[in-house]
Structure 1
Amino acid sequence: MRIGVLGTGGMAAALGGAWARAGHEVFVGGRDTEAAEVLAGRIGAAGHGTTAWAAGRGEAVLLAVPAPVAPVLAREHAGALAGRTIVDCTNPLAPGPGGVMLTTAAGASVAGLIGAAAPGARVVKAFNLVHASMWEHPAAAFGVTAPAVPFCADDPRAVEHVTELITATGRSPMPAGALDRAAYLEATAAFVIGVWWAGGAPSLAFPEAPGTT
């Protein structure tokens, strides 16, 4: 698959690198084109350029930029993104008095805002629940059962694309409903990060009954 990666930070490097290693054609686009060139060389991407350039290169396009920037970028490149799958891996979070908090309005999601900004694109929420460093480990490092990647999507073609992208990392796709449920994934990220910051292990909150694995 041809994949445009918009962004040059940790998630762009982690996911773009995983997809390049899996044999996909990755095109890195950045607001800082020098940073895009450096990242493309580091992960073995097929090319690099501006965000506008990368937005028009992929069947799927990863938005790996700060959450407030993602809808703005989607609006700027709405024409290039039309008909493509946009993968939103962002989390709209900020520190609050009781821990990390969502910055979106109640019931809203960054994925929904992206969809409104680029109405001709197919938007998917995915890859937002684990830190970028986790993608540096092969799936086998986590045990016999591959870790799951929850995602929310409406469009069948977008589901096909994100399923292929998740599988390429060695993880297991976990459908979590339509795109209107993306706010739940973003809220889950707030919960998970809050538990991590408090020194806990979020996975312990979701035990399975003996004999079910």
Structure 2
Amino acid sequence: MRIGIIGTGNMADALGGRWAAAGHRVLFGGRSAERARALADRTGQRAGTVREAAAFGDAALLALPHDAVAGVLAALGAGDGALRGRLLIDCTNAVGPGFRLTTGTGPGAARAIADATGARVVKAFNHLPDPLWWLNPPDFADGPVAVPLCGDDEAALETVRILVRDLGFVPLTVGGLDRAAYLEATTAFLIGLWHSGHDPRTLLPPFESVTA
């Protein structure tokens, strides 16, 4: 599979690097040509512009700080621009001070990105920090970790499921793009718990106790 990575930060490095190691062809494109080239050289892949990454191959990953998203998307063109009709994986988190969503009462980040670009957006990979995506294999005592996916296009979802499995994780489709706002809010809540030293798992009883 060919994957364009829009961004050159930690998430771009982790996900793009792991997909490259799994045999996918990756093109890194970011606001810093130097950083894109460094990622490409380290992984044996290609570097290019943001526009080239958006148009490359079967899917594009949006891996930017959320406050940079609007400017980059505007440069790519709204509605009928480079991302229209493309599969765009959104792993951004619109989390500001106090671990609150910066999207406020408006549409969630993924929905806003879909509306701005006309892309077939799948929300995924936003619920864990970048070091965990590097784990190969991602073995945990409690079993495999699920990656929640939200999207409206079944073909796009199936492509992302493949990419999840290629990292050694388990895809879990949790609804359409209208559900992505809940995933984004849940992630903000989890980040707050982790940063305060709390284990979110202690909030829930064993699965068997609520399904018996």
Using structure 2 for the length normalisation, give the TM-score. Answer: 0.91
What is the alpha-carbon distance in structure 1 between the residues aligned to residue 122 and residue 65 of structure 2?
A: 16
Deviates more, 1:21-30 or 1:78-87: 78-87
Q: SS of the counterpart of 1:196? A: helix
Unaligned stretches of 5+ residues in structure 1: none
Over 3 Å counting, the alpha-carbon distance change for 1:20 and 1:206 in structure 2 is farther
* Deviations, residues 12-68 of structure 1 (Å, cap 9, x unaligned): 0010011111111111001111110001122332x1011011111121100000112
Over 3 Å counting, the alpha-carbon distance change for 1:23 and 1:144 in structure 2 is farther
Kindly report the root-mean-square deviation, in angstroms, between the aligned alpha carbons of the 2 structures: 1.7
1:6 aligns with 2:3: no
Aligned position for 2:52:
53
Aligned position for 1:91:
93
Aligned position for 1:65:
64
Q: Percent identity?
A: 47
Q: CA shift at 1:160, angstroms?
A: 1.2
Equivalent pair of 1:70/1:110 in contact (CA under 8 Å): no
Q: SS of the counterpart of 1:174? A: strand
Unaligned stretches of 5+ residues in structure 2: none
The residue type paired with residue 11 of structure 1 is: M
Q: 2:121 aligns with which of 115, 120, 123?
A: 123
Q: SS of the counterpart of 2:82? A: helix
Aligned position for 1:198:
196
Aligned position for 1:74:
73
Q: SS of the counterpart of 1:68? A: helix
Equivalent pair of 2:132/2:138 in contact (CA under 8 Å): no
Aligned length: 207
The residue type paired with residue 171 of structure 2 is: P
Matches within 5 A, 1:145-160: 145-160=143-158
Aligned position for 1:32:
32
Over 3 Å counting, the alpha-carbon distance change for 1:210 and 1:181 in structure 2 is closer
What is the alpha-carbon distance in structure 1 between the residues aligned to residue 44 and residue 206 of structure 2?
A: 39
